[in-house]
Amino acid sequence: MKITPLDRWIKEKIGYKGKKDFKSELDNYILNKLHQNIKYVKENSIFYKNHLKNTNKISSFKDFEKIPFTTDLDIRKNPGHFLCVSPSHISRIVTLRTSGTTGENKRIFFTKEDQELTIDFFKIGMSTLVEEKDKVLILLPGEREGSVGDLLGKALKRLGVKVYIYGPVHNSEKVLEIIKNRKINSLVGIPIQILSLSRYKKSKEEIKLKSILLSTDYASNTVIKEIEKTFNCKVFDHYGMTEMGLGGGVECEALKGYHLREADLYFEIIDPITKEKLPNGKWGEVVFTTLTRKGMPLIRYKTGDISRIINTPCLCGTYLRRLDKIIFRKKEGVLLGDIEILTIGELDDILFSINELMDFKAVVTKEEEKDCLTIYIDTKLTRYKELLVHIYNRLYEFDLIKELIKRRKLTLKIKGRMRKENYFNNGIQKRKIIDKRNK
Ligand SMILES: [Zn+2]
């Protein structure tokens, strides 16, 4: 098994000479960067000047743990106050729209140098699964300069890889044609879109892939397994969010957790209740601090993602830590019957195991004082009444839903529509359960 290329890359980035062990040199590097960064944001950002007014020198990780968190809401209130450079130095602004009632959109700013760091990470991350002369089809938005597909394309070209940027999948058959005709052997795309490709792929088609990278959204194990099986290749998962500078971590050949971009980002896991930093192995909220970002550095940013640092060394042989799969996204869970939280990941696991299902949307409403969960399904079947019943039963087998229905706290409805064309969800935002109560 090949060691994660992040190992060598991070050693180079921190100037590791091999005099001390890697762990202590990496810790020293991170501590030093944290200290410099705090000084930098206090001098340059309006928000942090005030937010960190009681913070001084950072001499230890313990000192750092006393620093207040930065939240999603802080950014939404006034993104411009996070800027550490003059607006003329910003080359890319990403606007993240919020569907909630709070209204304000979140803006994330990047300088040319910040984007260069992302390209560099993408390059090294992709070298886990492709090499020179491979042909990669990017199924992520890439039209605009600085978009994820554009940066990924630039990174792959530096690896000597042939790149085709297609964008999100609107038409599965067309994409499968391209893969066949251009002899593509690797894909990067959104989990459920790749799943749709795998469900449209007919076994006789001559498609031979060596690897697939899933990105942008949560990929449930059911989805990953099916894609692996249909395309008969390795499926790697990537963890990241715009706030991290798109890339956060990527799996190695062991396919057991994400190796992290540790020279650019410092990750902590905190207890969601006490807010204390947790030791390796414990589940909690992922918090990160940018170490090298210039335009809009973030200090102890709460992601809302629940995961843990895996306690045991990786099979690939690196010392680098691994982040486990995100088991839950705080922002994506909905409270049902005032007692149970349901997540889109749980629904994905149950529903995508049903082959006739192409896509679904989950909406929660209030009906006669009870919560009502409606699942709208897309299927290519012309007669789908039986499928609706099957889906109802599958969901009813899920303890959480069963309990709530039994206690008369939940109504479950399944509605279907037939999709003639090979249309599939082309949204690139992270999927979630839509909550329409009290709105
Ligand atoms: Zn590994």
Band (pLDDT 50/70/90 cuts) for residue 423 is very low
CA distances from 207 to 178, 198, 201, 356, 364 (A): 10, 11, 9, 22, 40
Q: What pLDDT, on the 0 to 100 scale, is given for residue 65? A: 96
Closest CA to 387 of 351, 412, 432, 422: 351
Q: Compute the distance between CA of residue 201 and CA of residue 218 in angstroms, rounded to an integer.
A: 22
Amino acid identity for residue 248 in this structure: G
**Segment 226-282, tens digit of pLDDT:** 999 999 999 999 999 999 999 999 999 999 999 999 999 999 999 999 999 999 999
What homologous superfamily is domain 5-115+252-330 in, according to CATH?
ANL, N-terminal domain (3.40.50.12780)
Q: What pLDDT, on the 0 to 100 scale, is given for residue 103? A: 60
Task: Tell me if 302 sits within 8 A of 71, measured CB to CB.
Answer: yes
CATH number of 333-435: 3.30.300.30
C-alpha 238 – ligand 1 centre gap (Å): 13
Whether the pLDDT of residue 200 is over 70: the answer is yes
Amino acid identity for residue 321 in this structure: R
CATH topology of domain 129-242: Rossmann fold (3.40.50)
Q: Which residues contact 69 (CB under 8 A, 6 or more apart)?
A: 275, 287, 300, 301, 302
Q: Residues lining ligand 1 (ion), CB within 5 A?
A: 4, 252, 254, 314, 316
Give, as one character, the DSSP assignment of residue 47: H
C-alpha 316 – ligand 1 centre gap (Å): 4
Range with the poorest average pLDDT among 16-25, 79-88, 282-291, 313-322? 16-25
Whether the pLDDT of residue 36 is over 50: the answer is yes
Range with the poorest average pLDDT among 113-122, 182-191, 207-216, 379-388? 379-388
C-alpha 169 – ligand 1 centre gap (Å): 30
Q: What pLDDT, on the 0 to 100 scale, is given for residue 332? A: 73
The domain spans of the chain are: 5-115+252-330, 129-242, 333-435
Please give the structure tokens belonging to residue 146.
């600085």
Q: Which residues are 362's β-sheet partners?
A: 375
Range with the poorest average pLDDT among 99-103, 284-288, 347-351? 99-103
Mean pLDDT of 317-339: 87
Task: Tell me if 14 sits within 8 A of 26, measured CB to CB.
Answer: yes
Q: What pLDDT, on the 0 to 100 scale, is given for residue 426? A: 47
Task: Tell me if 429 sits within 8 A of 331, measured CB to CB.
Answer: no
**Segment 52-61, tens digit of pLDDT:** 999 988 999 9
Fold: same for 5-115+252-330 and 129-242: yes
Q: In terms of DSSP bridges, do strands 258-260 and 90-96 run parallel, antiparallel, or are they unpaired? A: unpaired
Q: Which residues are 307's β-sheet partners?
A: 284
Closest CA to 89 of 108, 115, 110: 110
Determine the distance from the C-alpha atom of residue 44 to the mean position of all C-alpha atoms in its chain, rounded to a whole number. Answer: 29
C-alpha 191 – ligand 1 centre gap (Å): 21
Task: Tell me if 376 sits within 8 A of 363, measured CB to CB.
Answer: yes
CB atoms under 10 Å from CB of 316, counted, come to 22
Could you tell me what percentage of the chain is helix, strand and coil, using 3-state DSSP and rounding each to the nearest 5? Answer: 35, 25, 40
User: Across all residues in the chain, what is the average pLDDT?
Assistant: 91
C-alpha 5 – ligand 1 centre gap (Å): 9
Q: Compute the distance between CA of residue 150 and CA of residue 158 in angstroms, rounded to an integer.
A: 13
